[in-house]
Each structure stands twice: as C-alpha cells, then as structure tokens.
Amino acid sequence: MTEATDTPVANPMMPGKRGGQLRRGGGRKPDARKATAVQAIRDGLPGAVKALLSQSANGEGWAIKLVLEYGLGKPVDKVEISGPEGGPLEHSLPLTDAERRILRDARLALDAEPDAETDT
C-alpha cells in the first residue's frame, strides 16, 4: 500500500501477476517460539562457553575437541578421488551411433589437416 492513498500496490517482482500485492502487515509472520528459543540460547551462551572452557581446562577430551574444532575452526577434510590402484578415474559417456560417426569424422578431419609447426 502506498502511504498516501492506502491502496494496494502491485508486486514489482511479479509484473502482470494478480494477487500477491504488497501491503502493510503482509508477508510471513515471525515465529514467536523460534525467536524465544534463540533469545534463550543467546542469554545462556556465556555460561555455556565458560562451562565448556572449564571442562577443557580439566582435561576432558570431548571439551578440548569442541573448543579446538569450533573455537579455532575445524580444518577442511580433503578427499582424493582416484581410480583403481590410485590411477585416473575411468569414465564413459554413452553415445549414439550418429554421435560416434560425428566424432570419428571430426577426428579424421583433424588428422588430415597439416600440422602448422611442420609446414614452416
């Protein structure tokens, strides 16, 4: 709605679409339960961090792991993907007979072209 006339304004993101008009109070309503839960977590966070650091200082392995992984940033796991015996990956692409002919003809045409380096 416009401030001056209180009439609905068409949604500029969807030109030509009827409905879905922008108006005061429109749109998804905030979830009060979620907002309350998030605020409770935020309020308790300093105490939870102190307890975690205390447990890690006491030598608790799980707490030390959490502090290192989330406090300093967990390192990225690198995964190498290779074929059998560490060789290259084998891949195949099913081709139709027509596609095979096109590729064969292109290969033959390339092989028939004189090499630019040997002509000079």
The three-class DSSP label of residue 9 is strand
Domain assignment present for residue 98? The answer is no
- Which of 66, 29, 32, 31 has its CA nearest to residue 51? 66
- Which of 97, 45, 88, 90 has its CA nearest to residue 70? 45
Q: Phi then psi for 114, rounded to 5 degrees?
A: -70, 145
Domain assignment present for residue 54? The answer is yes
Which amino acid belongs to residue 120? Answer: T
Domain assignment present for residue 85? The answer is no
Q: Of the segments 25-34, 42-51, 83-92, which one has the largest average pLDDT value? A: 42-51
Question: What is the model's pLDDT at position 1?
Answer: 47
Give the tens place of pLDDT for each residue, 32-61: 888 888 898 899 989 999 999 999 999 999
Find the domain containing 69 and state its range: 31-75
Spatial distance between the Cα atoms of 63 and 53, rounded to a whole number of angstroms: 7
Domain assignment present for residue 45? The answer is yes
Q: Which residues contact 60 (CB under 8 A, 6 or more apart)?
A: none
Question: What is the model's pLDDT at position 18?
Answer: 56
Domain assignment present for residue 64? The answer is yes
* 77 vs 7: which has the higher pLDDT: 77
Domain assignment present for residue 69? The answer is yes
Domain assignment present for residue 42? The answer is yes
* 86 vs 24: which has the higher pLDDT: 86
Question: What is the model's pLDDT at position 108?
Answer: 92
Domain assignment present for residue 8? The answer is no
The total number of structural domains that make up the chain: 1
This prediction has a pTM of 0.36
